[in-house]
Structure 1
Amino acid sequence: MTLKPRKRADASGITAVALQQSHNAALNESPSAQRASDALSTARMVNPRLPPAELEPEDKAVNHNMRVRKSTLRALGKAAEAHGMSVKQFIMTAVAEKGVQVAGHDLENGKITPWKDR
């Protein structure tokens, strides 16, 4: 069994429809361009004064690894425990205090793992 390739509209065609630059040409192109045009016209009918939607990119969690001496990590663990924080929260709070913009989720208190269990 062979699958037939499906023709997909490229992003420039959909963008052109959304910006109404080539409205008539795009209507004859593809169903996805038609859906983009329909969605835009529906949004304009509901509230024509709304500005175009602005999407913020997702702020995903990523890993950052640092190699430190055992004594440093042990000291961080003890200091964080004394403040009732996780090591991550302790470090991120210190970084935020230096003026670096830190995401709110990074300042939340996560699971505190006792040093002996690390």
Structure 2
Amino acid sequence: MLKVSASQRAAMSIAVDARRARELADAIHPELRAQGPDVMKAYAEDVAHGTILDTITQCYARGIRDKDQILNLCYIRFIINADVFKHESFAYILNNGLMHPYAKARHLILSFFAINAMRAGA
């Protein structure tokens, strides 16, 4: 019988997450280019792909796995041209220990677009 040690399981889990992140980045990248051509034209293909992959990795580390939420967080990252997870405006949401990761991502996305709508006078 084959036995897998805890360290081997951890290594396999990391490898699976990395593969899933690459696959998701490959799927999200063209979608972002199609939905936000004005925002995305400022970024070279490889830089944009690396940024998307980094955002996905950070989402996975925080328990955010929903594709639509990750897509929106990537889009926000390109709009503000800064790391969403290190941006002080979103710290109160991300550091809330009582909220589920899905709720954190949803609140962050909604607050970003609500703030932009208020600034635009909508």
Greater helix percent: which structure? 2
Structure with more contact order per residue of length (Cα contacts < 8 Å, sep ≥ 6)? 2
Q: Which has the larger radius of gyration?
A: 1
Q: TM-score, normalised by structure 1?
A: 0.25
* TM-score normalised by the chain length of structure 2: 0.24
